[in-house]
Homo-oligomer: A and B are copies of this chain.
Amino acid sequence: MITLYPEKLLSIITISSMEDRLVSMFKKYGVSGFTILRARGEGSSGYEADISGFDSNILVTVIVSEKRMEPILESIERKLKKGYHLTTYISDVQVISPDKFN
């Protein structure tokens, strides 16, 4: 029986030009890795196509332990207050190798 360990999965949907900032923020707060997917969508700021070079969304996901989450969320909240659009949600996941994400 494989043992599973709880972690958090943080997902952020935003415009692709925010990528570099998010990545450097993640690194600052010591996440072990991140994954980025191309997306398009619609929200309060209207429709975002996925035309590269014009406008395009990204979905950024980070698996992170609960204890590292707080400063990241605070940083996201600061960005939201400045006017940036970051659709953010967190879910519970279970992983095989918890040391990978700490």
Please give the residue numbers on chain A whose beta carbons come within 8 Å of chain B beta carbons, in ascending order: 1-2, 4, 7, 9, 11, 13, 23, 32-44, 57, 59, 63, 70, 73-74, 76-77, 80, 87-97, 100
> Across the interface, do A91 and B2 meet the contact criterion of CB distance under 8 Å?
no
Q: Which residue of B lies closest to A57 (CB)?
A: B35
In the complex with contacts A35-B13, A40-B36, A73-B2, A93-B100 CB distance below 8 A: no
> Across the interface, do A1 and B76 meet the contact criterion of CB distance under 8 Å?
no
The complex places the Cα of A100 from the Cα of B1 at a distance, in Å, of: 25
When distances are taken between beta carbons in the complex, the residues of chain B under 8 Å from A23 are: 42
When distances are taken between beta carbons in the complex, the residues of chain B under 8 Å from A34 are: 41-42
Nearest 9 interchain pairs by C-beta: A33-B43, A35-B41, A89-B93, A2-B73, A90-B94, A91-B93, A89-B95, A37-B39, A35-B39
> Across the interface, do A36 and B33 meet the contact criterion of CB distance under 8 Å?
no
